[in-house]
Amino acid sequence: MSPDSTMTWLESHPSQGMVYASASGNPRVGNETNVGGFVVYEPTHLSIEALIFTVTPIGSGSGIRADAFARAANSVCATPPPGVMLGIGG
């Protein structure tokens, strides 16, 4: 599957208990120099926990790397300055 098709499939099929949050890097216009991109799922909107898929071209197909970000029950988050919010990349 091409990186373009892989990203489109990932966007349409979020992991159980997660919602599609964003995608970036994929031109989606049939560009043969497609370099893939990122697809982000979160359990809730603006969560600091996430599942991020990195899609890259490999030969005639694509490779997928998944990174899971979770907040431990005993973790303490920094307090952001006024007008700023904590979040994950993607």
Does the residue 35 lie in any domain? yes
Does the residue 30 lie in any domain? yes
Please provide the size of the chain in residues.
Answer: 90
Q: What does pTM read for this prediction? A: 0.73
Does the residue 33 lie in any domain? yes
Does the residue 75 lie in any domain? no
Q: What is the pLDDT of residues 9-67, one digit of tens each?
A: 998 998 888 888 888 875 555 555 567 888 989 888 877 788 999 998 888 889 999 99
Give the mean model confidence (pLDDT) for residues 70-82.
Answer: 80
The confidence band for 90, taking pLDDT boundaries of 50, 70 and 90, is very low
Q: Which residues lie closer than 8 Å to 48 by C-beta, 6 or more apart?
A: 69, 71, 77, 86, 87, 88
Does the residue 76 lie in any domain? no
Does the residue 36 lie in any domain? yes
Greater pLDDT, 90 or 48 = 48
Question: Per the structure, how many domains does the chain have?
Answer: 1
- The residue written with tokens 């599942």 in the block is 51
Supply the range of the domain harboring residue 58: 3-69
Does the residue 77 lie in any domain? no
Does the residue 84 lie in any domain? no
